[in-house]
Structure 1
């Protein structure tokens, strides 16, 4: 599972995370789960790789853990409740050939996950036409996690 970060909010209200800080959110936030392995990637789009045993965790469960790890990070930053972003974790299984020959590129059969911080999850999903995008995909090849208030 590869994660990217879509920071769709003003950095005046919520501090932006560097690639290293974003990776640390999951490396430390998921450290209680001994079978989840996280690493920072050297790729222009994908930032973090999470390896997990599919007989113990579903992609949806890992997505939920990722949302909670990011929420915990934001809670420690004591952000004003008025500006706390909503978190979306949007996952899809890659079914097309890789778009680059980078060893860290998303491969067919693997999960690409966009971790989104936004003022309004509903508005973000409408803007990217989420419902239309997923309408032709098998239900087992996508997932969505939403955290509004945490």
Structure 2
């Protein structure tokens, strides 16, 4: 079980936010899937939570470390060694409702034809927690205008 500091201030993705948000698969590995959370413009609070962040959740049927264990290791072993600006920021988030897992699995199913053959059909684990990770994808705004249309 993680220390209290690892769990303080955990935002909860509520059922209402899950019902009003859309999830898009960004990438995946054997143990985790990463989603963009698309929040309606009218939901200012959730937009602030997910602005510049992606949602990383464990896949079902793996022996990957839990998000609790990852956060605890981050807080106690990794973070103290570096300045905050030198690290990709991430934060434990309480998913709160089974509806979120269901919507994430629907997003995986919608993307199945684009996924690597050995990942097709895999689903998100029924878990209470995920991780919000800093979105480090390049922004089209950072590219010269001649490349933005490619």
Q: TM-score, normalised by structure 2?
A: 0.28
Q: Higher helix proportion, which one?
A: 2
Q: TM-score, normalised by structure 1?
A: 0.28
- The structure with the larger Rg is 2
